[in-house]
Structure 1
Amino acid sequence: MEPMDLFGLQALLICALIFVPLEHILALRTQQKILRKGLGTDVIYAVVNGAFLKICLVLIAAAAMSASAILVPQRITVTVSSQATWLQVMEIIVLADIGVYASHRAFHAIPALWRFHAIHHGVEELDWMVAFRAHPVDQIVTKAVSLLPVFFLGFSSKAIAVYFIIATGHALLLHANVRMKFGPLKWLIATPQFHHWHHADQRDAYDKNFASHLAVIDALFGTFHVPGSKMPEKYGVDEPIPADYIGQHGYPFVRGG
């Protein structure tokens, strides 16, 4: 893996060329600046933590596939990997998002875990770059819970690669400063409105909308919250999250926050 690929600088530039104009054309909050407060911190997250996460994903995949070779009959992994790529991708989306939902809900429900996840919720202005701001513990646990079954069952590398492209683009869109209408599809797939409400610092929106791709999962478990066409009035958390990159990484370990 080349350094440029490890740090994802080319991919980050491509994403910027897509989402900066998109946020201008479909702006939800027209007064929000591109160079908003905390953007520099999120760039560090995208580059440094992004590289670290890639290394961890390689290790997670290696561990899962090694265990799979021992525990899963070959006929199962062969059957899974021989399916059409598009079907594998759909199955990965469902399987991974069930894991994301469970992990995400746990990070909200368990106080010790919330301190890690609060870093992601500490942003008061949402845009596409906010998707990168997450504590490494939060990222690694969530990725492990959601992707271990995927690697374990033997999905093809092509299908997994396509899934990662879709998952990354979707995550950036969910956090983007955009207003988009999805009609009745809002009950099926996660939309920017759906995820903005997850970030809302409003009592009626607390602990809602945990899925990353399929809003129907939240609908099934009673945690779906998309009130008409309304958007949140404010984002963030009421606790004092450090503004700097180092402080945010240490925050979960400091007694009393």
Structure 2
Amino acid sequence: MEDDLDQLGDPAWDLMNTERSLLVYNSSIAKKIAKNFPYKGNLLEFGAGIGTLATLFKTTKGLKPKCLEIDPNLKRILVDRGFKCYDNIQQIDELFDGVYTSNVLEHIEDDVHALQQIRSVMKPQSNLVVYVPAFQCLYSSWDNSVGHHRRYNKKELLFKLDVAGFDVTKVIYVDTLGFFASFAARIFGYKKSTEVKDEKMANYHVADARVLILYDRLLYRVSQIFDFIGFRYIFGKNILAVAKVKKKI
């Protein structure tokens, strides 16, 4: 399957690159999300990509989420990895005990409508976990190149979750030091991978694997300490929000 990545296109190549490089980071995010689903219920990952988090859920938590992914190339990888994958939300004919979405909403222009669609396939009082990039002041050429419409602040995300029919129970920032790394990337530019030679990817900012590994093995480990001692309530590179479906809308 991995030999076919060049034919699958930009997103698959980038996601596989980050999956291989960000082992500590991905494991940490999966753990932060999974602890909000203490039961072995029916879970959905909204915008599953190549299944990096879903695979970690399966191997470390004994949970096998179902996936929603609209990109046919990414869906192919998910199916190859053994996950049931829906093409779109209208195709879903069941209700879930929990839903999570990681680094997806920022790609959707009408994110409130997307949240309302997510709510429509959730059981009453079930948990939704949202993980998104934080602070519009960090918006860079990289965000633009990968199709981000925005980065979020807490107030905006809480407002949109409320409008979509959710009660927020928890909201924190994640990756304190990543804030400064993202700010530096915005000011000085984002280092692309030298491994990518395909002409069609000339304007697509695939991260240099060596930079990602350094961030993952060193910077993020230190960043977790700052998060733990309280900076998660002040700022960070990302926002993690937990919300329940409202009893009445």
Per the TM superposition, whether the score is higher than 0.5 is: no
TM-score (normalizing by structure 1): 0.26
TM-score (normalizing by structure 2): 0.27
* Higher-helix-fraction structure: 1
